[in-house]
A and B are shown apart, each in its own frame.
Chain A
Amino acid sequence: MEIHRFEKAWLGFALLLIVGLIATITYGAVGPGVAMISDSGGTIDSSALGEHEQFSDPGVRQVGENEYDVYVVAQQFIFRPGTNEPITLPADSTVTFHVASADVIHGFSITGTNVNTMAIPGQVSKITVEFDDPQTYGLVCHEYCGAAHHEMAGTIEVVPQSEFSIEGTDSGVADLTDEDADADGGEN
């Protein structure tokens, strides 16, 4: 079959572009370490979140120096916590969100950032984020979840470390010691 020389050049250019795009993404994963949401959060019985060790009382837990776990339940049409009370976190911290849905598929997106995951019944979304400077972020459900989907939003407040105290949040583990924290972190 005859392939014109301009066609050959274009074909070469197209393949170069494709391989280049794949290379940039691979670099993003192994260089700056952009990790994908994966199955590391595990599965869960969505109809029985109330009996779950962590999701029965969702909120912020300290699991190390400047390291926090946040358990969030997404349900029609609120984030718990997030909607009725903001999720408060200290600046310069590493935060792992664990998000579970209690009913239908929701989204969990912190606007203006690349923190973005689906909350699918039966699955736990686990995503680790670093918060640097104090700032208030919007939290949005970006997956249609029913007739009042457009009401489902929340707030994340990153405050200076000096103003942060875990007692201020409804975490239920305010008097966490360092040993407890390590044990808790190790389970995840």
Chain B
Amino acid sequence: MVRYCFAVAFLALGAGGLFGVIQALHRTGIYRGFIANQDYYTILTGHGVLLVLVFTTFFIAGLFLWAVTDSLDTPVASEWTTKLWFRLMLLGTLLAGTAILGGLTDLVPVSADVLFTFYAPLAAHPIFYIGAALIIVGSWVAGINYFRTFFSWRQDNADARIPLRTFMVLVTMLMWFIATMGVAVEVVFFLIPWSLGLISQVDPLLTRTLFWFFGHPVVYFWLMPAYLVWYTILPKLAGGRLFSDGLARIVFVLFLLLSTPVGFHHQYVDPGIPEGFKFVAMTNTMFLLLPSLLTAFTVVASIEHGARQRGGTGLLGWLKALPWDNPAFSASALAGLMFAAGGFSGMINAGMNINYLVHNTLWVPGHFHLTVGTAAALTFMGISYWLVPQVTGRPLGLRSWASAQPFVWFIGMVLMSNAMHRAGLAGVPRRTAVPQYEGFEYVSAYGSYAEMRIQIALGGVLLFVSLLMFLAVMWDTYMNPKGGRLTVNSELPAALSGPEASPKVLDNLWLWAGIAVLLVVLAYGLPLASLVGDGLFDPGSAPVPAWLAGLLG
């Protein structure tokens, strides 16, 4: 099943990446022959949904299945449930994908040009919302199955500490259950009946708020699995072991507590939300930096320990002793490095007053291509080089391509992301097909707009090349005969400071989940009450189909 999950994830990655390079060339004006301007938004929707929803969810579901069964050393609780969640997620992907691709052709009367941020009142075909809901419901079933596997292990190991990888999976899934409540309510109670015509109008601000209730924590659903890799596998690849097991657990608990009550920081410039609620979200967001800053320390310390075990010396000389030719290591390490840069631009986004300057500009995609597009995606690719041979029993193919791939990604992302950040500061908006408006020009503090556009296009092409290299390696691996020397092993060394040194209360998942829910109620109770106070559907808006508006407009 891990293999099937990865296969779907890689297919989504390929299609989403193709959409990405088309966008990069189109919006920078290098080549606009692939699509018409109005189809840009269909491609953009496909890029967003396939990469941040389908690729990540399938990859994470597979990675977690491996992490739980491997670290508990038990089979999964219910094979039947495993098949169920896989099929639910696959069906959801097919429905949503059909709705999106329908926007490119007149042959089918469906479309979903609503972007990944599917705000009402722009409306998609109902099957888009139903598909998105099924993907999320499938991920819930997967989460329940991980928990059931853990409970059956617990019966035989009543007093043992939860193995670190399983702990991380369970905490991440608890966070996910809480965070997806917002989007589940939005889609099931509002958008699906509204798109089917069962209710005539929805409150755009209320549904938008429910979306962002989920819309920020979802990034931690992508990052926490990357952290799982950085904490438990990366130190071993570097030649050493994790620095502190206890601190890793604290970091994950902090994510569970703080991930959800922060969504209003995406709505700093929204009318209709009092300043006070925005301020509360801002302080929560800033404290959410803490687990990432702690991670930076622990992961770097663990890598340094590994490098010194391999004979590295000196203040920075140890860096040379790291296995940079091992793609699983180099991808994860480079991803971590870029995440540091992404973290800093994130701190800027989180500041209410500076947010005025960068909100909805190209700065924002510049930021999340570092976090989700590199920290998570490049780590997932890198760890596939390590994990896929293990779960398939086939040796890694095209090794030299694999070794080069993370560096190509890194260079491509440096070019694209830094130019996007700078263009954002000049005021260039995001989510637009042709950002050349009549009558005025963007003034940049440094460098020219033309040069930034070339950097974005070149970066986008390099990223696509790197993606093709990755897919070729995976294809070759899946085609390799079984057996032979795998050159990887799944043994993970124990942490330098093990779980026995940390307080047992860290393993009390129900306690942390309870506090997390309480914090969410505190942060969201009043704002949601005031939004609902003027009527659940008021002030309301009827659906506006994006494609129809385009034709009439």
Contacts and interface: CB of A to CB of B under 8 A. Distances in A.
B534 to A, nearest CB: 7
A125 interface: yes
Interface in A33-83: 34-39, 41, 43-47, 76-77
A149 to B, nearest CB: 6
Given A37-B271, A138-B440, A43 B353 contact: no
Contacts of B270: 37, 117-118, 120, 123
15 contacts: A10-B297, A14-B293, A15-B290, A36-B279, A38-B273, A41-B271, A116-B356, A117-B270, A118-B270, A122-B204, A141-B429, A146-B544, A147-B37, A147-B113, A155-B439
B534 A43 contact: yes
Contacts of B208: 105, 120
Contact of B286 (A22, A111, A115, A149): A22
A179 interface: no
Nearest to B355: A116
B77 interface: no
Task: Give the most central of A4, A107, A122: most B CB within 10 Å.
Answer: A122
Contacts of B246: 1-2
B541 A146 contact: no
A118 B360 CA distance: 9
Given A120-B208, A120-B272, A122-B539, A150 B293 contact: no
B54 to A, nearest CB: 20
B13 to A, nearest CB: 24
Contacts of A150: 37, 40, 432-435
Contacts of A125: 271
A24 interface: yes
A24 B351 contact: yes
Contacts of A36: 268-269, 275, 278-279, 352
Interface in A147-172: 147-150, 153, 155
A143 interface: yes
Given A104-B541, A122-B540, 20 more contacts: A3-B247, A29-B353, A34-B352, A38-B274, A44-B539, A46-B541, A103-B544, A105-B204, A117-B270, A120-B271, A124-B271, A142-B429, A142-B430, A144-B122, A146-B550, A146-B553, A148-B37, A149-B41, A149-B432, A150-B433
Contacts of A177: none
Interface in B87-102: none
Contact of A153 (B41, B205, B293, B437): B437
Contacts of B539: 43-46, 121-123
Given A45-B539, A147-B550, A148-B553, A39 B502 contact: no
A116 B546 contact: no
Contacts of A99: 271
B38 A18 contact: no
Q: What is the interface of chain A mostly: helix, strand, loop, or mixed?
A: mixed
Contact of A123 (B122, B271, B360): B271
B301 interface: yes
Nearest to B114: A144
A142 B442 CA distance: 14
B353 A34 contact: yes
Interface of B: 37-38, 40-41, 44, 113, 115, 119, 121-122, 203-205, 208, 243-244, 246-247, 267-275, 278-279, 282-283, 286-287, 289-290, 293-294, 297-298, 301, 347, 350-353, 356-357, 359-361, 426-427, 429-435, 437-443, 497, 501-503, 534, 538-542, 544, 546-547, 549-551, 553
A128 B269 CA distance: 13
Contacts, number: 227
Contacts of A141: 429
Contacts of B351: 21, 24-25, 28
B544 to A, nearest CB: 5
A116 B355 CA distance: 9
B4 to A, nearest CB: 34
- 10 nearest interchain CB pairs? A147-B550, A122-B539, A138-B440, A142-B429, A111-B427, A147-B38, A114-B356, A123-B272, A125-B271, A14-B293
B440 A137 contact: yes
Task: Give the most central of A18, A24, A149: most B CB within 10 Å.
Answer: A149
Given A3-B247, A22-B286, A39-B274, A123 B205 contact: yes
B121 A39 contact: no
